[in-house]
Amino acid sequence: MADKPLTDWSSGLLDCFEDASTCCYGFWCCPCLACTVSGRFGENNCLPLCDICSPAIAAAFGIPLCAPPAVLSLRAAIRNRYGIKGSLCKDIAISCFCTWCSWCQMHRELKHRKKVPTVINVHAETTVNMQPAPVMMMMHANPPQTGFMNQAGVIVTA
């Protein structure tokens, strides 16, 4: 089975003017956009809250955390599902330094992928005419003559 060739993202990381509503939504309510993207991809809507809460929790336990886990994992998953070019190193860099642009790009990608194509089905009607099978009756040229029985199971004819 041949693998499908990798494609590019449907929009660039900084292509906010292709879909200004996404970037405006992301600018005014970044967590809402992130939760929407997560939900549309089929993950828990609250997944992006890990990016908000995890640095504080990790710091409380002395664990250094530099890459936001939700945006990084979701970005890698979207690339994997749709066969988009890229690498984990690029995903880490974008997740660390362009978090909200990454959420906007993923939102635009999901909107692009969820467009419903127009499908036209053409059905040819097939007519089947069912008739009963012909019945063949065989007639004997010389019908059997009647006889009599003199023993059980023996017929004598004349």
Locate 26 and state its tokens. 């992301």
**80 or 128, greater pLDDT:** 80
Average pLDDT, the chain: 75
How far is Cα 28 from Cα 42, in angstroms, rounded to an integer?
A: 24
How far is Cα 43 from Cα 81, in angstroms, rounded to an integer?
A: 13
Tell me the residue ranges of DSSP E strands in the chain: 147-151, 154-157
φ and ψ at 150, to 5 degrees?
-105, -20
Helix (H) or strand (E) holding 156: strand 154-157
Q: pLDDT at residue 127 above 70?
A: no
Residues 6+ apart with CB under 8 A from 105: 9, 11, 12, 13, 15
**151 or 8, greater pLDDT:** 8
Locate 45 and state its tokens. 């809507």
Q: What ranges do the domains of the chain cover?
A: 16-113
The predicted-structure confidence for 51-92, as pLDDT tens digits, reads as follows: 777 666 666 666 666 778 888 889 999 999 999 999 999 998
The predicted-structure confidence for 132-145, as pLDDT tens digits, reads as follows: 666 665 655 565 55
CA distances to 87, 90, 145 from 72, in Å:
11, 10, 98
